[in-house]
């Protein structure tokens, strides 16, 4: 196991966005290293409460150690944040004053060579599971998915223009020997993309993103979860969501748009018959991005976007 490292992205912006109250009840759906959770607990001392979830046992262990001085004020649940409504019901919570989601992969997950998330190291085993309980790994996706399935996820989740060639080359190479490591996959990707077009970041970035999203089901149910979470806020409560690629951000934007929309009746009707009511005010009309100062010390914040909404 690599050394534990955790740098919360856009920390101050998230804390400010939540508009924390001293006696509030908060939900951190992506506990990770506990950086954002610790910030919430520090800023709501001594009466604030926190519920946090994560699927990674290692993350929970380290975050618990980081938060130990706040014992009695927080509850950590080993579960996917998409099971939010079930968790809320089981804990008997009527409503939250704030909800935070950081949808990025934690720094320590990227840096842990045993996890196989990174395209920057070539000797990692293909894994990419955020939870070891997940039966689907990157190795299974690469070696068991059909060419059409591989092409589909590379297009849908990676927006990879060379998806067809990459998928075809993966099939060709795995017929010789199973593809086991990140390095083996990277070589296939590099061979599939013309050299002159390998200038916009690492050539494997989009493929690795697509496979990781598929392995962890990152986009499955995200839209409805954002809707459910927002509707579980108390009036004046806020939801802050950090995204790290355009697919996530688009889903969050669409969910907020649905919640912000008032009556959708034909304007020629004398009265509203649809019953649709505006449920939120957008605190961020446009997503907030990391400052130049943060980017100098935390390059992983480069693609981050923060959207915040307040329940009416």
The 10s digit of each residue's pLDDT in 88-134 is 999 999 999 999 999 987 665 665 666 777 777 678 899 999 998 99
Quick one: tokens of 25? 């009840």
Same domain, residue pair 232 and 83: yes
Last residue of a domain, one of 194, 216, 238: 216
| pLDDT band at residue 1 under the 50/70/90 scheme | very low
Regarding whether 234 and 94 lie in a shared domain, the answer is yes
**Residue-wise pLDDT tens digits, 164-191:** 999 999 999 999 999 999 999 999 999 9
Same domain for 208 and 118: yes
Within a domain: 6: no
Q: Is residue 4 part of a domain?
A: no
* Euclidean distance between CA atoms 152 and 167, whole angstroms: 9
Q: Tell whether the model's pLDDT for residue 3 goes beyond 50.
A: no
Is pLDDT of 4 > 60?
no
CATH of the domain at 82: 3.40.50.150
CB 153 within 8 A of CB 128: no
Burial level of 171, CB count in 10 A (0-12/13-18/19+)? middle
- The pLDDT value recorded for residue 110 is 61
Most confident of 51-65, 219-233, 268-282: 219-233
C-beta atoms surrounding 197 within 10 Å: 10
Domain shared by 223 and 99, yes or no: yes
Residue 35 DSSP code: H
As a whole-number percent, the residues of the chain with pLDDT over 70 amount to 95
Q: Is 56 helix (H, G, I), strand (E, B) or coil?
A: coil
If asked whether residues 98 and 228 sit together in one domain, one would say: yes
- Say whether both 193 and 238 belong to one domain: no
Nearest to 128 by CA among 200, 60, 204, 69: 204
What confidence tens digit (pLDDT) does each residue in 54-63 have? Answer: 999 989 999 9
pLDDT for position 2: 44
Domain residues for 152? 109-216
User: How many domains are contained in the chain?
Assistant: 2
**226 in a domain, yes or no?**
yes
Residue 3 in domain: no
Do 90 and 230 belong to one domain? yes
Residue at 131 is within a domain: yes
Q: What is the mean pLDDT of the chain?
A: 92
pTM above 0.85, yes or no: yes
In a domain, 5, yes or no: no
Of 191, 216, 241, the position where a domain reaches its end is 216
Residue 157 is predicted with a pLDDT of 96
Say if CB 130 and CB 105 are below 8 A apart. Answer: yes
Residues 160, 204, single domain; the answer is: yes
**Same domain assignment for residues 69 and 125:** no
Interior/surface letters 9-44, b for 16+ CB within 10 angstroms, e for the rest: bbbebbbbbbbbbeebbbbbbbbbbbbbbbbbbebb
pLDDT band at 42 (very low <50, low <70, confident <90, very high): very high
Q: Is residue 2 part of a domain?
A: no
Asked which of 197, 216, 235 is the last residue of a domain, the reply is 216
Q: Is residue 176 part of a domain?
A: yes
Q: What is the CATH number of the domain that holds 168?
A: 1.10.150.170
Going by pLDDT thresholds of 50, 70 and 90, the confidence category of residue 45 is confident
Q: Are residues 136 and 182 in the same domain?
A: yes
Nearest to 27 by CA among 47, 45, 51: 51
Dmax (CA) for the chain in angstroms is 70
Q: 93 with 118, same domain? A: no
Q: What pLDDT, on the 0 to 100 scale, is given for residue 115?
A: 73
| 122 and 91 housed in the same domain | no
At 103, which helix (H) or strand (E)?
none
Cβ-proximal residues to 158 (8 Å cutoff; 6+ apart), any chain: 206, 207, 209, 210, 213
């Amino acid at each position: 196991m690599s050394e534990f490292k955790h740098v919360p992205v856009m920390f101050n912006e998230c804390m400010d966005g939540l508009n924390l109250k001293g006696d509030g009840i908060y939900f951190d759906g992506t506990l990770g290293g506990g950086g954002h959770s610790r910030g919430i607990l520090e800023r709501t001392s001594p009466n604030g409460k926190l519920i946090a979830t994560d699927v990674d046992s290692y993350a929970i262990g380290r975050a618990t150690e980081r938060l130990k001085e706040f014992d009695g004020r927080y509850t950590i649940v080993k579960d996917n944040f998409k099971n939010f409504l079930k968790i809320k019901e089981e804990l008997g919570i009527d409503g939250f004053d704030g909800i935070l989601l950081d949808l990025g992969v934690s720094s320590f997950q990227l840096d842990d060579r045993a996890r196989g998330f990174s395209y920057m190291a070539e000797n990692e085993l293909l894994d990419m599971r955020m939870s070891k309980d997940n039966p689907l790994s990157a190795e299974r996706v690469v070696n068991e998915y059909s060419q059409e399935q591989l092409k589909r996820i590379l297009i849908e989740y990676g927006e990879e223009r060379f998806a067809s060639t990459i998928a075809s080359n993966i099939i060709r190479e795995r017929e010789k020997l199973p593809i086991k490591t990140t390095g083996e996959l990277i070589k296939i990707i590099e061979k599939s993309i013309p050299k002159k077009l390998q200038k916009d970041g690492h050539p494997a970035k989009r493929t690795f993103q697509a496979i990781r999203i598929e392995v962890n089901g990152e986009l499955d149910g995200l839209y409805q979860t954002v809707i459910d979470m927002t509707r579980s806020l108390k009036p004046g409560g806020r939801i802050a969501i950090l995204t790290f690629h355009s697919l996530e951000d688009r889903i969050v934007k669409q969910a907020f748009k649905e919640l912000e929309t008032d009556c959708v009746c034909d304007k020629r009707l004398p009265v509203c018959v649809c019953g649709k009511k505006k449920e939120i005010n957008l605190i961020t009309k446009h997503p907030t991005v990391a400052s130049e100062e943060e980017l100098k010390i935390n390059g992983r914040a480069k693609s981050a976007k923060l959207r915040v909404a307040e329940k009416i």
